[in-house]
Structure 1
Amino acid sequence: MAIFLSENDVKQVLTVDMAMAGVESAHRDLALGQALDTPRQRSRLPQTVLHILQGALPAQGVIGYKAYTSNRSGNRFLVHLFDAGSGELKAVIEADYLGMMRTGAASGVAARWLARPDATVAGVFGSGWQAEGHVRAICAALPLELVKVWARDADKLRDFCARLSEQTGRRVVPAADAEDAVREADLLGTVTTAAKPLFDGDWLQPGTHINAAGSNALIRQELSEAAIRRCGLITVDAVPTALAEAGDLLPLLEKGRLQARQLVELGEIIVGRHPGRSDAEQISLFESQGMAIQDLAVAVRVLAAASEQGLGREIPMQ
């Protein structure tokens, strides 16, 4: 019998470590040829957009998709998980919290593999829902001592920093301005819906790793050309997805200033097929667009943990 898990069920069992383990397994499976992932597809109406990400993790026994709608009234997320062998429905999972945690987990996994292991200072742009998962994951991945956050709404920013300081046990503080967030950062994260670059590329110090998590559409751009051209290593979750919707990279690709062959998939580094960071001075970049297999891998772990605790309810199926 298929199981339905609510947002509350997911929140009871999903941890940062679980999300990062799931995301890393998805990238490893993809690099080893044990996963399939289809770039996001959208159906647009004037008032509502339906987004679908689909994929399969046969080595983990599942195939499925995440569907979500975006509307002025809000967003609604559901993961549908099927058995890869029988095709039977295993679970339907409300996935707002799950998606936030897996998006942050992707940045955490990238930071673990690409940032300098002695990184102690992070700068983050954004204080919204997705930024919460980002800060939690990078604090789990690295021995950070200080996270400086920059956002436009001062009151919201103060509340965000206080909450994340308590959740992570690290100093999470408001940055004085955008430059303050960047100048001394060993690790930089952008988690916004910005349409224009957030900072001057000259502010980046040697050895910085950047996680760019907000530019997942053509109309969004968080990084300038100057910032990207300073990066000696540009990684993506999947090349086809990046070529379809990485708003930061597409202008350079169109101008011929960046070639698709220069993009390295994160999984290639995880399995040792690509060396990753070359030295302590190199500036590296991870462009995160989001993949169905990340959601599926986290959902598999959520379902197992929820089943152990007797959470969820059966879905009547004929």
Structure 2
Amino acid sequence: MTLILNRSDIRGLLEHATAEVEAAVEQAHRDLSRGRVSLPAPPALDLPGSDGTFLPMAAVSAPAGLASVKLLADLPANRERGLPVQRSTVLVLSARTGEAEAVLDGALITRFRTAAATAVATRLLAGQDAQVLGLVGTGPLALAHARALSTVREWKSVAVWGRTPANGAALVDRISAELGLHAELLPGPREVTEAADVLCTLTPSREPVIKGAWLRPGTHVNAVGAPPRPGHREIDTEGIVRSRLIVDSFATARSKSGEVLIPLAEGALTEADFDRELGDVLEGLVPARTADDEITLFDSVGVGLQDLAVARLLIDLATESGTGTRTDLAA
């Protein structure tokens, strides 16, 4: 039987499972470092006659006993239609029998696993005395990050900026009310960058919103928001060159991350500058922060293995609670 979970089902299962999601994502990256999973870089399937693209983000995990693919649709024209620019669905198969175990809406899976990966990276890479969290971008991903990162450090304050002031004010109110943290809306990305000990960029920007000259020594940056396209980035070349880079997957970053591909094409970066993976840091194969004044940057492109890890968790939670719909696709 195949489990079907819609967005409401997934919200109910994950809204109180922040720690479990983080643990699942961390273990997935450890398994990647140990060679226990297969994680190819996703091909870009461009839609002829448009700027739309589809990415099949696949992974196979021996420990999880699953193979999965999330088909991500990145359709900029949806913005004019009043629809989400990105939509996705996750198909999960048994790695042993090939049976379709689950079909899952991808929106919240993506949001939760992305924030969880940032939390893992921040715990490893941020300075121990980090007190100010900066959020550039005020969409749903920003709130998810505030929630996930609230378990990583004792934040003194949260600095926020977004292009729409009303959204920024609403985010500040929610962070204050839900997390009990002092949050403040600042006038621009520079002010947030200069205030933050840990900076999360969470915008769908095609052009840099953060300049390297703004980064203070010792800052940790999570570059999260740019779509997985070689020409899109949130951090300029100077910011990348000034930072010690950690990626979620070298193969995916080398294929999809404008954050590293644009400086690489400019000759400002080499592949050796971004071949350090998060899983290798977790496994102690690569050092994390090497100096108090070092600027560290986690380039979070997002990988199908993270989706698989959360899918495994969801299948287990849904089975325990009787959540979702079950059907025989072969009937």
With the shorter chain as reference, the TM-score category is: over 0.9
Aligned residue for 2:69? 65
- Runs of 4+ in structure 1 off by over 6 angstroms are none
1:309 matched to 2:321? The reply is yes
SS at match of 2:217: coil
Task: Give, in whole Å, the separation in 1 of the partners of 2:59 and 2:113.
Answer: 15
Shift of 1:255: 2.8
Asked whether the equivalents of residues 80 and 91 of structure 1 are also in contact (C-alpha less than 8 Å), the reply is yes
CA displacement 1:69-100 (0-9 Å, x = unmatched):
34413343211111111111111111211111
Aligned residue for 1:227? 239
Aligned residue for 1:180? 191
Task: Give, in whole Å, the separation in 1 of the partners of 2:69 and 2:151.
Answer: 27
CA displacement 1:246-296 (0-9 Å, x = unmatched):
111112212332111222111100001011111211110100101000000
What TM-score does the superposition give when structure 2 sets the normalisation length?
0.91
Task: Give, in whole Å, the separation in 2 of the partners of 1:86 and 1:166.
Answer: 47
Aligned residue for 2:95? 84
Alignment of 1:129-208 (within 5 A): 129-208=140-219
Asked whether the equivalents of residues 231 and 262 of structure 2 are also in contact (C-alpha less than 8 Å), the reply is no
Aligned residue for 1:273? 285
Q: Choose between structure 1 and 2: higher strand proportion.
A: 1
Asked whether the equivalents of residues 214 and 220 of structure 1 are also in contact (C-alpha less than 8 Å), the reply is no
Matching residue's letter, 2:135: V
* RMSD, aligned α-carbons: 1.5
Shift of 1:228: 1.5
SS at match of 1:40: coil
Asked whether the equivalents of residues 156 and 182 of structure 2 are also in contact (C-alpha less than 8 Å), the reply is yes
CA displacement 1:88-126 (0-9 Å, x = unmatched):
111111121111111111111110111112311011110
Task: Give, in whole Å, the separation in 1 of the partners of 2:74 and 2:193.
Answer: 31
CA spacing shift, 1:114–1:92, aligned 2, 3 Å: same
Aligned residue for 2:23? 21
Determine what percentage of the aligned residue pairs are the same residue: 31
Asked whether the equivalents of residues 132 and 198 of structure 2 are also in contact (C-alpha less than 8 Å), the reply is yes
Task: Give, in whole Å, the separation in 2 of the partners of 1:70 and 1:249.
Answer: 20
Shift of 1:37: 0.8
Aligned residue for 2:254? 243
Alignment of 1:37-48 (within 5 A): 37-45=39-47, 46=49, 48=52
SS at match of 1:249: helix
Aligned residues: 317
Asked whether the equivalents of residues 118 and 143 of structure 1 are also in contact (C-alpha less than 8 Å), the reply is no
Shift of 1:211: 0.2
SS at match of 1:110: helix
Aligned residue for 1:56? 60
CA spacing shift, 1:68–1:227, aligned 2, 3 Å: closer
Shift of 1:33: 0.3
Asked whether the equivalents of residues 230 and 262 of structure 2 are also in contact (C-alpha less than 8 Å), the reply is no
Shift of 1:148: 0.6
Asked whether the equivalents of residues 248 and 301 of structure 2 are also in contact (C-alpha less than 8 Å), the reply is yes
Aligned residue for 1:297? 309
Asked whether the equivalents of residues 25 and 309 of structure 2 are also in contact (C-alpha less than 8 Å), the reply is yes
SS at match of 2:143: helix
In structure 1, the gaps of 5 or more residues are none
SS at match of 1:282: coil
Task: Give, in whole Å, the separation in 1 of the partners of 2:140 and 2:41.
Answer: 23
